[in-house]
Amino acid sequence: MLSLGEVAPFICVPLDQVDLGFLVRADAGNADAQNDIGQLFSNAGKPTVALYWLEQAAHQGHADAMQWLGRCYIGGEGVPKNRNIGLMWIAKAAAHGHIIAQAQMQDSFRIPPANGLKRI
């Protein structure tokens, strides 16, 4: 088994001690840490690595990770664009009470009025 000190130099983004702690907890299966590490890699421009961690957390029922994963699929970040899979993940997050995902679902099903009529 490798120690974190042996692996840390090969991680593709700089991590401070707090981030390394998240990485250890994420690797141990902690969904909150997996989501945090996924967002850290996403913000660092490493969408493929981010996707891995977000998927791990989402499959454990982490609503925030589900919403982020949906955004990745819709935007094609780290995966080929797939609106259907993206909406599926956002719908799951909404079903878990994620407020942003609930608003996104409402917006995705709004139908514009026909014939140029304005909504009142």
For the chain, the domains span 4-111
Checking if the pLDDT of 7 tops 60, the result is: no
Nearest partner of 18 among 10, 26, 6, judged by Cα: 26
pTM of the shown model: 0.79
Q: What is the pLDDT of residues 48-60, one digit of tens each?
A: 989 999 999 999 9
Of the candidates 56, 62, 63, 59, the one whose C-alpha atom is nearest the C-alpha of residue 41 is 56
**What secondary structure letter does DSSP report for 97?**
T
DSSP 28-91: TT-HHHHHHHHHHHHHTT-HHHHHHHHHHHHTTT-HHHHHHHHHHHHHTSSS---HHHHHHHHH
Q: Is the pLDDT of residue 24 over 80?
A: yes
Token digits of residue 49: 């690595």
Question: What fold is seen in the domain 4-111?
Answer: 1.25.40
